[in-house]
A and B are shown apart, each in its own frame.
Chain A
């Protein structure tokens, strides 16, 4: 079975502060991990994925297989980062199936 846990439902920070959204997963094989973001009144969109190892909008995430974590980080939060963030996992043979965490609502205060 595969499971994704985002322990924080709500996260508030001030503009310019560092932010870390936590994601832990459970999967017996080698998963593919993603972060999706949903801004207000917009559709769900991919933010980044671990295989790309890229930084998008200043966000990075490192897959830690030992701790089975894929935390999302940004050193200096901006107000426009306020959104719902979902961590998602795709198993090796799951093709188009993504398992999502419950999501974290990030609010960045001015």
Chain B
């Protein structure tokens, strides 16, 4: 079974631009969570989607948004990029959200904002 895939793997953007990252969960998984990983803040939860609905949102500004499609694929968007948005963005999928269901992580998208 193929793992979680994320595209693109690397991205370089300029301040003020916007970016869209994509995540394809493991086949059959319906829950997708997004995390931001930085050396200073570590791994921080962005949001979680299940059945095309956002179930949870982390403490990030409104510039960060996401969505989930009917095939469970998810995208996250960051508008008006800032230097501090440079990070590794990880996506994780699970069968359904909640206890007993392991989250499987993708390789991440490395975003660099210049």
Contacts and interface: CB of A to CB of B under 8 A. Distances in A.
B50 to A, nearest CB: 7
A95 B97 contact: yes
Interface stretch (A21-29, A38-46, A68-76): A38-46
Nearest to B40: A102
A44 B99 contact: no
Contacts of A49: 102
B99 A32 contact: yes
Contact of A101 (B4, B42, B100): B42
Contact of A51 (B90, B92, B99): B99
B31 A102 contact: no
A100 interface: yes
Contacts, number: 60
Q: Is the interface of B mostly helix, strand, loop or mixed?
A: strand
A43 B42 contact: no
Given A44-B105, A90-B99, 13 more contacts: A44-B90, A51-B99, A86-B42, A95-B55, A95-B98, A96-B94, A97-B45, A98-B33, A98-B92, A98-B103, A100-B35, A100-B43, A103-B42
Interface of B: 3-4, 31-33, 35, 42-45, 48, 50, 55-56, 58, 90, 92, 94, 97-100, 102-108
Interface of A: 32, 43-46, 49, 51, 86, 90, 94-103
15 contacts: A43-B106, A43-B108, A44-B92, A51-B99, A51-B100, A95-B98, A96-B48, A96-B50, A96-B92, A96-B94, A96-B103, A97-B45, A98-B33, A98-B45, A102-B42
